[in-house]
Amino acid sequence: MDRIEIFTSKKKSVLVLIGSIVFVGLGIWFFLNADSFTGGRIRDPFLIRGIGIASVLFFGLGIYAGIKRLIRSELALIIDPIGLNVNPEKSPTEFIKWNEILGFDEINIKGTRILIIMVKDPEVWIEKEKNALKRQVMQFNLNNYNSPFNIAAAGLKITSNKLKEILNSYLENYGSGIQHAV
């Protein structure tokens, strides 16, 4: 089996970009027209302006991320006979050898299928992470999903089913033989 590199999807990045532009537009509209919102539950123009500003800031980051991904697809996952590298461009500590992977579980959160990478000694992976925010996210994942690692195919150039099929095939060929059914 060869090395497989999976990149982020430009098509899905376009959807993020369009959605972000719409919400930035709505945020600007809320900010500029806050005084005209006299009906409904929220009547305070300062709160409406705050919602507008928050929308512009948050979805402005979405515009930045969407444009960045459109210009250059990011390498999101490397699968090879040695192991699995989740997020290779941002974190070299997330290279997981096949003999350290116990298997894959799947969860569904609001229609998004997420593959959970079950690893031996998950606490060791959290201790190795130098970034405090990332370490907290990994701890949250461990507490809630029994593993610090997960993969959502939603933003990738691959379907969730195909990703699951490839990962299970590599684990079967190169792993320890202990697998969770997905």
- Number of domain units in the chain: 2
**75-79/4-7 β-pairing:** antiparallel
Residue at 118 is within a domain? yes
- The verdict on 101 and 21 lying in the same domain is no
- The verdict on 54 and 83 lying in the same domain is no
Residue at 36 is within a domain? yes
- The verdict on 132 and 51 lying in the same domain is no
Q: How far apart are alpha carbons 91 and 166 in whole angstroms?
A: 22
Q: Which of 43-47, 86-90, 145-149 is the least confident region?
A: 86-90
- The verdict on 80 and 161 lying in the same domain is yes
Residue at 180 is within a domain? no
- The verdict on 65 and 79 lying in the same domain is no
- The verdict on 102 and 156 lying in the same domain is yes
Residue at 127 is within a domain? yes
60-64 long-range contacts, CB within 8 A, separation 24+: 60/20, 60/24, 61/20, 62/16, 62/17, 62/19, 62/20, 62/23, 63/17, 63/20, 63/21, 63/24
pLDDT category at 38 given cuts 50, 70, 90 is: low
**112-119/75-79 β-pairing:** unpaired
The reported pLDDT for the residue numbered 90 is: 66
pLDDT category at 179 given cuts 50, 70, 90 is: very low
- The verdict on 87 and 147 lying in the same domain is yes
- The verdict on 58 and 107 lying in the same domain is no
Query: Which whole number is the average pLDDT over 9-22?
Result: 88
pLDDT category at 170 given cuts 50, 70, 90 is: very high
DSSP string computed for the chain: ---EEEEB-HHHHHHHHHHHHHHHHHHHHHHHTGGG--SSS---HHHHHHHHHHHHHHHHHHHHHHHHHHHSPPEEEEE-SSEEEESTTT-GGGEEEGGGEEEEEEEEETTEEEEEEEESSHHHHHHH---HHHHHHHHHHHHHHSSSEEEEGGGBSS-HHHHHHHHHHHHHHHS-S-----
The reported pLDDT for the residue numbered 139 is: 94
Share above pLDDT 70 across residues of the chain, in percent, rounded to a whole number: 91
pLDDT category at 21 given cuts 50, 70, 90 is: very high
- The verdict on 89 and 130 lying in the same domain is yes
Q: By residue range, what is the domain housing residue 30?
A: 8-71
pLDDT at residue 180 greater than cutoff 50:
no
- The verdict on 116 and 100 lying in the same domain is yes
- The verdict on 83 and 142 lying in the same domain is yes
Average pLDDT taken over every residue of the chain:
86
What is the distance between the terminal CA atoms of the chain, rounded to a whole angstrom?
21
- The verdict on 148 and 166 lying in the same domain is yes
pLDDT tens-digit series, residues 62-118: 999 889 888 887 888 899 999 998 877 666 566 899 999 999 999 988 888 899 999
The reported pLDDT for the residue numbered 165 is: 93
Query: Which whole number is the average pLDDT over 128-154?
Result: 89
Residue at 16 is within a domain? yes
